[in-house]
Amino acid sequence: MKKIEEIPAIEGGKPVRDRYLPYGRQWLDESDRKAVLEILDGDYITTGPAITQFEEKVATYVGAKYAVAFANGTAALHAACFSAGIGKGDEVITTPMTFVATANAILYTRGTPVFADIDPNTYNINPDAIESRITERTKAILPVDFAGQPVNHEEIKRIAKMHQLVVIEDAAHALGATYNGVKIGSLSDMSVFSFHPVKPITTGEGGIITTNNETYYEKLIQFRTHGITRNPQRCSYFEGPWYYEMQFLGFNYRMTDFQAALGISQMNKLDRFNERRRKIASRYDAAFQNIKSIVIPQQLSNIESSWHLYVIRLVPERLCVDRKKIYEALQAENIGVNVHYRPVYTHLYYQQLGYQKGICPIAEKCYEQMITLPLFPAMTEQDIQDVIHSVRKVLNYYAK
């Protein structure tokens, strides 16, 4: 006979928690509210001085020359693809193990996403798979630092150099992560960050691109404001001080000043947030490393992850139920587990574009076994214990 506290809630037992714990969420405090209110009471609520300050703060933090803020990370990815010159027929090699926005940005500029399979240990794009996908039409590589673990920059840089490709890094998960001791944000031609509430810091909606390349920088600035320039030296013709010229089809992708103020305030806490994320991840590692029915996230020795996500993989041979059942059982304990990510090309839209299932078998297999556990800096000690308790309880109950 099982004791009542060992029976999962989904089987009629008592849930570990009464209140639902989400997988991620923002952490805002009085200093954030104050920063936003100051801007609301000032002269500029959009495209004022806070934008420049925020951009300088992020550029300095990651060690890049330039940063350009955007309305969201997806707009930033779009701008990066535009600035890299991606156009009709150009192929961009990317990972299927990401949020759809990564590949969508390639489609926005009429390029063709080409999916290369992942490394089953890090879930990051596999450099050998990148090489196998290169053709005469390949123009760029768009890797993603999955869960905050940086991609293999040495290899990606080597491949990019050999084939003269632009590297746009989707670093939406990786603000504050390091590779060989160097912060993510200066290692690629352009690095793209997101400030959605679950990301390392938040501005509500928001994104930024960091780069060391002045040409990209100028293009990004102009793309963000309709393709307009006010610089007389750059205009084909200049009538007077009121004059501006639209030179290509850009967008209104600007961030507001009060969002930038929130970003500045959040940047002050980024290292503390990430420290907390690392602590929680190592608590999980210690609690789960001897559970045979799961694989915990593997970390390479030359990187430090920003731990956006803690993704475990189930070992089907060790369990008598499938991933769906484990997922539902953890939800029933009020643990907000999630799944990151369904391979992009398996979505209906991509299937209709003609992408076949099976093109990245490792990503498809990993996807079927993955579960994301709650991980965010504002988690309390009790929250952490509840996750550990629930995972042990559910996996024990369904162990083979």
- The answer to whether 2 is a known catalytic residue is no
Residues 160-189 that bind ligand PLP (CB under 6 A): 170, 172-173
For residue 311, the minimal CB distance to ligand PLP (Å) is: 13
> Order of strands across the sheet with 310-314?
294-295, 310-314, 370-373
For residue 238, the minimal CB distance to ligand PLP (Å) is: 36
Binding mask 49-78 for ligand PLP (x = CB under 6 A): -----------------------xxx----
Q: Which helix (H) or strand (E) holds 294?
A: strand 294-295
- Cβ distance 16 to 393 under 8 Å? yes
- Cβ distance 46 to 397 under 8 Å? no
Q: How many residues touch ligand PLP (CB under 6 A)? A: 14
Q: Which is nearer to ligand PLP, 194 or 222 (CB)?
A: 194
For residue 202, the minimal CB distance to ligand PLP (Å) is: 10
Catalytic residue among 88, 139, 157, 199: 199
What's the CA gap between 261 and 103, in Å, rounded? 30
Q: Is 19 exposed, middle or buried (0-12, 13-18, 19+ CB in 10 A)?
A: exposed
Q: For residue 260, state whether it binds ligand PLP (rule: CB under 6 A).
A: no
Residues 95-134 that bind ligand PLP (CB under 6 A): 98-99, 101-102
Q: Would you call 376 helix, strand, or coil by DSSP?
A: coil
For residue 196, the minimal CB distance to ligand PLP (Å) is: 4
Residue 48 per-residue DSSP state: S
What are the residues whose beta carbons fall under 8 Å from the beta carbon of 215, sequence distance 6 or more? Answer: none
Bond prior to 341 in cis (omega within 30° of 0):
yes
Q: Which residues of 62-74 are buried (b: 16+ CB within 10 A; e: fewer)?
A: bebebbbbbbbbb
Among 153, 183, 196, 254, binds ligand PLP (CB under 6 A): 196
For residue 97, the minimal CB distance to ligand PLP (Å) is: 9
Q: Which is nearer to ligand PLP, 346 or 390 (CB)?
A: 346
For residue 263, the minimal CB distance to ligand PLP (Å) is: 12
Stretch that binds ligand PLP, among 94-102, 115-123, 150-158, 325-333 (CB under 6 A): 94-102
Pseudo-torsion of CA 378, 381, 387, 392, nearest 10°?
Answer: 160
Q: Which is nearer to ligand PLP, 172 or 335 (CB)?
A: 172
Among 118, 129, 140, 144, binds ligand PLP (CB under 6 A): 144
Among 113, 207, 263, 377, binds ligand PLP (CB under 6 A): 207
User: Between β-strands 294-295 and 310-314, what pairing exists: parallel, antiparallel or unpaired?
Assistant: antiparallel
Closest residue to ligand PLP in the complex (CB)? 73
What's the CA gap between 310 and 335, in Å, rounded? 13
CA dihedral for 124, 129, 133, 139, sign (positive or negative): positive
Residues that bind ligand PLP (CB under 6 A): 72-74, 98-99, 101-102, 144, 170, 172-173, 194, 196, 207
Q: Which residue numbers are catalytic?
A: 199
